[in-house]
Structure 1
Amino acid sequence: MTATSRRQRLRALLASDQCYFPGSVFDAISARIAQEIGFETGMYAGSVASLAVLGAPDIILLTLSEFAEQARRIGRASDLPVIADADHGYGNALNVMRSVEELEHAGLAALTIEDTLLPRPFDQKAVTAVSLREGIGKMKAAVAARSDPSLCVIARTGALLMGGLSDALERFRAYQDTGVDGVFLTGVTSMSEIDAFAAVARLPILLGGTPAGLLNRKELASRGVRIALQGHQPFMAAVAAVRKTMLAQRNGTELPELVAKPDLDRLSGEPVWSARVRAFLTDTD
């Protein structure tokens, strides 16, 4: 499946009347697992990418090239349409354009650009947003930078936590006029807040960091929410499993449950590679 076809599949999800929970993916195998299970789309988060690639916390230490290369590996491994958290676009509006170019080339179906002031400036005690004017400029730059019109560019704002509902609504309205394909909200804590955004929404709504009690597909769908993240527990579970297994090996105790070889063979594409060995590495004369 081509990158464009994956992007078109994601656009169909955003244009539907349903709400989808994406699978949290961070490498090739996790993307294949999400696809096999039946997730309609995947989410590749900056926080998880920093942990998976650098073993570092989510404080904007990961570079664009590192993030894009991992996205490229994920895209090669499955047909899952993946949405990427491109953070602040790795700089100003011009850096945003470069980020869009790189991540589009990596094969992603969509990317989000947020209006948070990152990385945190010297002596700044709390996370803040860039000005609304700069935020609008970054979203317009992101839209202008894509060469494949099927790539989804999503504006993202955490203003609800940083400036309150009034500021978040102002940004939400403004970003809808920049040419983006949806608006991603973080920090929502109640259905009444979602209702406030739904009342002025002209584009699909995406949610991140939403309390589990609000993750009701039917209720969210009726409010125009098309994508709602459940969290990045798969990566945390993977870390826990690796630690338990290494501890068991170190201590000589019973190993925890491991993936069965037939399952690993299927996820790694072993049958396909075996067929290629027979076709191209075997003397048939």
Structure 2
Amino acid sequence: MSFGKRREALRAILAGSTCIRPGSVYDPTSIRIAEDLGFELGMFGGSVASLVVLGDPDIALITLTELAEQMRRMSRASTLPVLVDADHGYGNALNVRRTVQELEAAGAAGLTIEDTLMPQDYGVSEPQLISLEEGVGKMKAALDGRSDPALVIMGRTGTRGGGAAASSFEECVERAKAYEAAGVDALFFTGLTTREQVKAISAVTALPIVLGNTQGELDDAGFLSSQRVKIALQGHAPFAAATQAVYDTLKALRDGVQPKELKGLPSAQLTGRLTREADVKVRSAAFLGLKK
């Protein structure tokens, strides 16, 4: 499947009538698993990208080159459309423009650009936001950076629902309206926690909505669909589960368990399917004269 078809598939999700849950993917094997299991979309999160590439927490240490290269590896391995968390675009609006170019070339179906200040200012522990004007500039730069009009650009805001968080819900609404006016294809929110907030956002914008948090009262697919929420994330449990499995396996081996006695290992059939062994054998026969 060409990159264009992957992007059209994501656009079809955004134009659809239901809310889907993407599979969290982070490398060629995980994306093939998600594809084989029937997920409509993969989500490549910034936090899991930092973990898998650097082994570091999500503190904006990963570079654009590292993120794009990992996306490129996944694009080669699978035709599953992937939405990429491009964080703050790795700098100012001009950096955002290049971020879009690199991720488009790497095969992303869509990407998000957010308005959180990264890295954080010295001596400040709470999340900070760039100004609304700079946020709008980043969205415009992202749109200008794409050469394939099918590539989905989502405006993501770090605004929250008030309290001790980064900003008020009123500012969240203001930024949503401004990013829509700038021309983004969808709006991504991580700070909405109540049905009333989702209803309010849905009422003031016409764009598809993506939620990064659907715990508690938002864990209702019917409600989300009724409010034009097209994609709802479920975190990055696959990478967490893989980490635990590797830890348990290495610990068992270190403790003296024999490899043949290990539990939870994939079958040869599953490994062969995920490595596309049958396809490799066909190519080996056709191009190298090897027997299938």
- Calculate the TM-score normalised by the size of structure 1: 0.97
Secondary structure in 2 matching 1:6:
helix
**Residue in structure 2 matching 1:216, options 220, 226, 229:** 220
Cα distance 1:50–1:283, how it changes in 2: closer, same or farther (>3 A)?
closer
Aligned to 2:265: 258
Which residue pairs with 1:107 in the alignment?
Answer: 107
Match for residue 4 of structure 1?
4
Partner amino acid, structure 2, of 1:126: E
Matching residue of 2:275: 268
CA 1:220–1:113 in 2, change beyond 3 Å: closer, same or farther? same
Which moves more between the two structures, 210-219 or 167-176? 210-219
- Off by >4 Å, runs of 4+ in structure 1: none
Distance in 1 between residues matched to 2:238 and 2:269, nearest whole Å: 21
Give 1:226's aligned residue. 230
How far did residue 212 of structure 1 move? 5.1
Matched with 1:120 is: 120
Shift of 1:27: 0.3
For 2:284, the equivalent position in structure 1 comes to 277
**In structure 2, which of residues 178, 195, 198 is the aligned counterpart of residue 194 of structure 1?**
198
The alpha carbon displacement at 1:209 in A equals 2.7
Q: What amino acid is aligned across from residue 14 of structure 2 in structure 1?
A: L
Q: Do the aligned partners of 2:6 and 2:80 also contact (CA within 8 Å) in 1?
A: yes
- Whether contact under 8 Å (2:213, 2:234) holds in the other structure is yes
SS of match in other structure, 1:12:
helix
Deviations 1:216-274 (A, max 9, x none): 21110000100000110000000000001111111123422111110110111111111
Rounded Cα–Cα distance in structure 2 between residues aligned with 1:249 and 1:97: 47
Please give the alpha-carbon distance, in whole angstroms, between the structure 2 residues aligned to 1:207 and 1:23: 14
CA contact (8 A) 1:212 1:230 kept: no
Identity %: 51
Question: Secondary structure, in 3 states, of the residue corresponding to 1:84?
Answer: strand
In 2, distance between residues paired with 1:272 and 1:179?
A: 42
C-alpha separation in 2, matches of 1:211 and 1:244:
29
Q: Is the 8 A contact 2:195 2:217 kept in 1?
A: no
Distance in 1 between residues matched to 2:110 and 2:266, nearest whole Å? 31
**Alignment match, 2:246:** 242
The two structures have a TM-score, normalised by structure 2, of 0.95
* Counterpart Cα distance in 1 of 2:216 and 2:28: 27
Question: Offset of 1:215 from its aligned partner?
Answer: 2.4
- The reply to whether residue 167 of structure 1 matches residue 171 of structure 2 is yes
Q: Tell me, yes or no, if the aligned pair for 2:194 and 2:217 is still in contact at 8 Å.
A: no
Q: Which residue of 1 aligns with 2:57?
A: 57
What are the Cα deviations for residues 49-70 of structure 1, in whole angstroms up to 9, with x where unaligned?
Answer: 0000011111000000000000
SS in 2 for 1:280: helix
Query: How far apart are the structure 1 equivalents of 2:45 and 2:290?
Result: 46
Would you say the 8 A contact 1:187–1:210 is kept in 2?
no
Q: Which residue of 1 aligns with 2:129?
A: 129
Name the Cα RMSD after superposition: 1.2
How many residue pairs are counted as aligned between the two chains? 284
Aligned partner of 1:98 in structure 2 is: 98
Q: What CA distance in whole angstroms lies between the structure 2 residues aligned with 1:113 and 1:218?
A: 27
Please name the residue that 2:158 is paired with: 158
User: Which residues of structure 2 form unaligned runs of 5+?
Assistant: none
Q: Is there any run of 5+ residues in structure 1 with no aligned partner, and where? A: none
Kept in 2, the 8 Å contact 1:51–1:58? The answer is yes
Contact kept? 1:86, 1:113, Cα under 8 Å: yes
Q: Partners in 2 of 1:256 and 1:212 — Cα distance?
A: 35
Question: SS at the partner of 2:111?
Answer: strand
